[in-house]
């Protein structure tokens, strides 16, 4: 029986406990999850792609079924090249759904071999986003309950603390 592989794409700038919640839960469903960092030159990222890959690799060191990669171009092309059949998308609130639904429909129109699975974020993380983490951290606010310790250290370094 072939392995069921899913791709969890995002900017992960930085990775949060909300992202990790989705990854942990996806690993209970799939044989493997590829956490795919999108190269998006239009986004003003705090961390470089290389830094995000390194942080993800360190945070996921105890998750052997999870791997880390990066992509640019069409997500569905990346998914198929990696032998995956499912895209995982996390939803925090109804406000996320419309945009994610449009993306899923576009991906489905490109290829019917790739499905999109929406996973609701667990309640403690329903408000959490990388943007909020960066904003709170930039103002020297507490982010200990939002990100792993090594991510907090990386944020502190970025903000010269």
Q: Which residues contact 156 (CB under 8 A, 6 or more apart)?
A: 137
Active-site positions read 19, 43, 92, 130
Give the distance between the most distant pair of CA atoms in the chain: 51
DSSP 122: P
Q: Provide the 3-class DSSP secondary structure of residue 153.
A: helix
Tell me how crowded residue 128 is: count the other CB atoms within 10 A of its CB.
Answer: 20
Q: Would you say 7 and 39 are in contact if contact means Cβ atoms under 8 Å apart?
A: no
């Amino acid at each position: 029986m072939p392995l069921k592989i899913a791709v969890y794409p995002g900017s992960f700038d930085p990775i949060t406990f909300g992202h990790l919640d989705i990854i942990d839960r996806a690993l209970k469903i799939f044989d493997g999850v590829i956490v795919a960092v999108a190269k998006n030159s239009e986004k003003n990222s705090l961390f470089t792609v290389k830094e995000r890959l390194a942080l993800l690799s360190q945070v996921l060191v105890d998750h052997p079924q999870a791997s880390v990669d990066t992509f640019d171009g069409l997500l569905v092309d990346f998914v198929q090249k990696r032998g995956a059949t499912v895209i995982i998308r996390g939803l925090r609130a109804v406000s996320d759904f419309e945009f994610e639904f449009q993306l899923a429909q576009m991906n489905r129109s490109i290829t019917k071999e790739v499905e999109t699975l929406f996973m609701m974020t667990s309640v403690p993380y329903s408000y959490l986003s990388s943007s909020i983490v960066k904003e709170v951290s930039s103002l020297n606010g507490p982010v200990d309950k939002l990100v792993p310790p090594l991510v907090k250290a990386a944020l502190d370094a970025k903000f010269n603390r």
